Amino acid sequence: MTDKSAETIVKPIKDPQPSVDRIDDLAKRILTGDIFLPKFQREFVWERQQVLDLLDSVGRNYPIGSVLLWQSRQELRSENRIADLTIAQPKPDYPVNYLLDGQQRLSSICGALYWKGTNPNSPWNIVYDVRARSFHHLDTLDEPAPHLFRLNKLSDPSAFFLQAATLQATGDAEGYQSALELFNRFKDYKVATVTLGDMSLNDVAPIFERINSTGTRLTIVDLMRAATWSPEFDLVDSIDAIREGLVSKAFDGIDRKAILRNVSAAVGGSFTAESIDDLRKLSPGELKSAAMATADGYKRAVDFLSTHIGIPSSTMVPYTNQIVVLAEVLRRLLAPSAAQWAAIERWFWRTGISGYFSGWNSGMMASDLAAVAAFVDGKTPEIETEGANVPSNPWGSRAFRLNTAHSKILALVLAYQKPRDMLTGIAVDVDKALAWQNAKEFHHIFPQAYLKAKGVSLAKAGALANIVYLSSASNKAISDQAPADYLSTLLKDHPDANDWLQSNLIDEAALGAALANDYDGFLTARAGAIAAHANKLAGWK
């Protein structure tokens, strides 16, 4: 891990300051430039009904969640308009309270209370029906019936009470009382506010990412978008353009944060949060160039994964950060030699099988960048990743689950053998199986029902070494039979059955144990067969 800077030691982070604030005051602070909305999103994203639901919660005094502010002198690009309203600009050298969580909620309150627009279909053209005690959108600028109060009148007490007096004068005592309750509720409604002190962008990022917002979850990518935004460059748009360029290979689901690491490396930085923070010091032109170079690296990386490894989509990559390092290698190395391609392939298998990226920290990131540089410069024949070593055999002890790295690696290792359905000999449609949408193509050699009857735990029955590509029809044919029964019949009826089994890494030792219904012996033998083939791919002796 990297050491904290001297500045952090001299100037300690302030403790978060909790407070309870009136929601109307928070809205005013946005309009007067005391609270700023960083450019996390380009447009207001809530649906009209979500706005009405929020207002209804306030009207009923239901909780709507807390608000998180970051008081800082750091410059983030911020919105200058909200809900058709102009936001005041901060004073020079004035600490700004950036709104990190609560943007959609406070935007809704500002829009509803202070809207002065001329579009009758505006999402802020909202009324409260004091008789029905419900909120509604209008589609006209005409003055509504007396029992319908436009929400923007709450910010103009004289206009509000003039309309309320009309109800009282006409004998609508219930409506008048309802109007008073609405006014008092919005003036008195309070929310919990937490203000973070003047932290660095690096320190505030992990807090920002862990926010459980009622709206769309935001990440460090959104934070850096606000830190780097200009009319000439939008970080999120640039990252999304990179992802869109990978659609044809089904790799457009790569996490934005992964690509952000590569943008940082492309300007001579590293993959760490500290280095990412430095992006805000760059010009739009420099950021554009970095994004373009990153896009090229990702295209080559995805081509490699889909053609050399046979991965059909980003969901099948064991570790997302494998793509990060690979994209950096291929950003720098435009035309790898045959030997370099082979080394890159061995690196993929080594880092995947060893689980190297399961705990990727800043020290490992620095080490990997150095290894990439040495490999690209021809100083080393391999991408020397310290720690990507032969693991203790995981295939017999770990369970098969779609979301785990070793399950994906097993599927890829098996795919390399050009497997055949072990009951029919029909070639397995590997692309279909590796789509990884469900487990329909993966089944147990020792049936789960059979093992359960023998007292074997569910976890042990689902061991990776007990998994094989198998069609649903073949799986149904096996049902809950003992392996000795269905395998004996298979070997007797089909001369090529041994070859079919070998293509699924069921060697003689594993087959012998299965024919004896020896599950423990089978797990040991097949785990060894899988390890032998996996280690060969990784270049391990």
Predicted confidence (pLDDT) per residue in 267-287, tens digit? 999 999 889 989 989 999 999
pLDDT at residue 201, rounded to an integer: 72
**pLDDT tens readout for residues 254-272:** 999 999 999 999 999 999 9
Write down the pLDDT at residue 94: 66
Higher-confidence residue of 6 and 337: namely: 337
Domain count, the chain: 3
Name the nearest CA neighbour of 349 among 312, 284, 304, 379: 304
Same domain, 13 and 147: yes
Do 348 and 431 share a domain, yes or no? no
pLDDT bracket for residue 465 (50, 70, 90): very high
**129 and 10 in one domain?**
yes
Residue 6 pLDDT > 70: no
Mean pLDDT of 490-515: 96
- In a domain, residue 191? The reply is yes
Q: Is the pLDDT of residue 16 over 90?
A: no
Per the domain annotation, does 343 fall within a domain? yes
Average pLDDT over residues 345-362: 95
Pairing of strands 148-150, 126-129: antiparallel
pLDDT interval class at 199 (50, 70, 90): confident
Provide the pLDDT confidence category of residue 228 given band limits of 50, 70 and 90: confident
Within a 10 A sphere around the Cβ of 373, how many other Cβ atoms? 14
Predicted confidence (pLDDT) per residue in 97-155, tens digit: 888 888 889 989 999 999 988 899 999 999 999 999 999 999 999 999 999 999 999 99
Q: What is the pLDDT of residue 436?
A: 60
Identify whether the C-beta of residue 425 lies closer than 8 Å to the C-beta of residue 472: no
215 has a pLDDT exceeding 80: no
Asked whether residue 359 falls in the same domain as residue 412, the answer is no
**Is 185 found in the same domain as 39?**
yes
Mean pLDDT across the stretch 166-178?
94
pLDDT band of residue 14 (cuts 50, 70, 90) is low
410 within domain boundaries: yes
pLDDT at 532: 95
Q: Please indicate, yes or no, whether residues 172 and 94 belong to a single structural domain of this protein.
A: yes
Strands (E), 113-258: 126-129, 134-137, 148-150, 190-196
Q: What is the pLDDT of residue 11?
A: 41
**Cα(509)–Cα(491) distance, integer angstroms:** 15
Kindly give the residue spans of alpha helices, DSSP state H, lying in 306-388: 320-332, 338-354, 362-376
Q: Are 425 and 496 in contact (CB under 8 A)?
A: yes
Asked if residue 284 and residue 169 are part of one domain, the reply reads: no
Q: Report the alpha-carbon angle 288-70-91, nearest 5.
A: 80
What digits encode the pLDDT tens for the residues 63-79? 998 998 988 887 777 77
Among 334, 336, 358, which Cα is nearest to 346's?
336
What single string gives the DSSP state of each residue in 425-450? -PBP-HHHHTT-SSSTTEEESS-HHH
Distance CA 128, CA 7 (A): 52
CB 483, CB 446: distance < 8 Å? yes
Residues 192 and 238 in one domain: no
* Tokens (6 digits) for 334: 């435009």
Q: How far apart (Å, rounded) are the C-alpha atoms in residues 205 and 218?
A: 10
In a domain, 447, yes or no: yes
Would you state the pLDDT for residue 102? 86
On whether both 107 and 242 belong to a single domain, the answer is no
The verdict on residue 284 lying in a domain is yes
Mean pLDDT of 371-385: 96
State the helix-helix crossing angle for 519-538 and 405-416, rounded to 10 degrees: 80
432 part of a folded domain: yes
What per-residue confidence (pLDDT) applies to 448? 94
Q: Are residues 81 and 159 in the same domain?
A: yes
In the sheet with 35-36, reading across from the earlier edge strand, the strands are 17-22, 190-196, 67-72, 96-101, 35-36
Same domain, 17 and 112: yes
Minimum mean pLDDT among 2-11, 27-36, 286-295: which range? 2-11
Q: Report yes or no on 218 lying in a domain.
A: no
For residues 359 and 468, membership in a common domain is answered with: no
Note down the domain range covering 248.
230-376
The mean pLDDT of the chain is 89
Boundary of a domain, candidates 357, 376, 395: 376
**pLDDT of 217 strictly over 80:** no
263 inside domain: yes
